[in-house]
Amino acid sequence: MTHYRAPQNNNTPDATASAGHGLPDGSENFAYFPAFIRVTGKKVLVLGGGEVALGKLRLLIRSQAQITVVAPEICDDIAVMVDEGRIVWENAPFVDTMVNGAAMVFDAADDPYLTNRLQAATKRRNILLNVVDRTPHCDFIVPAILDRSPVMITISTGACAPALARIIRQRLETVLPASMSQLARIARDARQKVADHLHDNLSRQRFWTHFFQRGLQARATDRAGPEDIDLALRQFVPDGSLATVAGGQTMFAELTVDNAFDLPHGIARAIETADIVFHEDHIAAEILTLARRDATIIPIGCISLDKNPDQKRQNITRQSKIFARQGFNIVTLTQPITH
């Protein structure tokens, strides 16, 4: 059987595309690689003591980095951070050796001469540099952030349209409940308990999917505690055999739209949580991209060579039931049959 992974993993440029800026499917290469950098206990240097530097510091002090500000003067709010011991202030002219040992450097001083010196100093030492509002000089950029700590959602336009990233973040604020924070903390504290009861990756993955889906639907309005995990485990495998993988679910969806935005919410959620997605040939790639990165995407034509659409679908139904009995969630995406 021929199959492939979700489309977002299938964007390897060919020789022609790699010579330019695009990929074979028409999308673009990343200008910046999306990643989260561990800065706990590491030195982060910020140059500048005004409002621009303050904006970066308000975010940085949420981390566990060791922050040093280099500036001849600092504004009142930064001075409060110094007094509270949250950052260190170097009231001295910048010298290149100040960047030694830093994990990253922020230039918020708005001094082109200083920026040139910083670029030379950080480049020699392979240290990441961010020059505020001067993207061509940046080794990394700071995206718009939706804070549901410990859940952190970032939105970036590759520095092309920061205002658009802010608008997207604002819209997400209205649809992603604050209860996400509570659910994530419950999961963090209960990971070992779930691992002790569910011994294989598939059953754990499915359990957490069910737990978060139900929690987000309820918006976790009541206070949750460890007993919620116990209840969720009992509901997940009702017969009490917690080491057993629960049966998977199947969904057959006939799509009349060609984009992810217009998909009914239930179908979109099923695609996002599916282990295997069967699809007919002309289902839009944008819709298939909703699948998890580790999901398996299978064109229906690879399963059945029968030219009769109804017969093909019957074959897929049989295959789906087999996979579901093994604990997989299956979604089959079809289009209306035209005669």
Nearest to 294 by CA among 7, 22, 57: 7
> Domain range spanning residue 251?
1-27+247-339
**Any domain includes 62:** yes
Q: Are residues 167 and 186 in the same domain?
A: no
Identify the helix (H) or strand (E) that includes residue 129. strand 128-131
**Any domain includes 277:** yes
CA angle 321, 324, 326 (to 5 degrees): 120
**What tokens were used for 144?**
């718009």
**Any domain includes 331:** yes
Domains identified in the chain, total number:
4
Specify the pLDDT at position 30.
79
**Any domain includes 20:** yes
Q: Looking up tokens 């690879």, which residue turns up?
A: 302
Q: Is 142 helix (H, G, I), strand (E, B) or coil?
A: coil
Q: What is the pLDDT of residues 139-159, one digit of tens each?
A: 998 888 888 888 888 888 887
Give the integer Cα–Cα distance in Å for 5 and 276. Answer: 9
Specify the pLDDT at position 225.
47
**Any domain includes 35:** no
Taking a C-beta distance cutoff of 8 angstroms, is the pair 128, 139 a contact?
A: yes
**Long-range contacts formed by 91-97: CB under 8 A, 24+ apart:** 94/47, 94/70, 94/118, 96/120, 96/121
Which segments of the chain have a pLDDT < 70? 1-27, 217-227, 237-247, 301-309, 337-339
Q: What is the pLDDT of residues 6-24, one digit of tens each?
A: 555 444 444 334 444 555 4
Q: Are residues 292 and 331 in the same domain?
A: yes
Specify the pLDDT at position 9.
44
Give the DSSP per-residue string, 285-308.
Answer: HHHHTTS-TT-EEEEGGGT---S-
Which of 113, 140, 167 lies at the terminal end of a domain, its last residue? 140
Give the integer Cα–Cα distance in Å for 330 and 309. Answer: 19
Give the integer Cα–Cα distance in Å for 135 and 138. Answer: 5
Give the DSSP per-residue string, 59-115.
Answer: HHTTTT-EEEEE-S---HHHHHHHHTTSSEEE-S---GGGGTTEEEEEE-S--HHHH
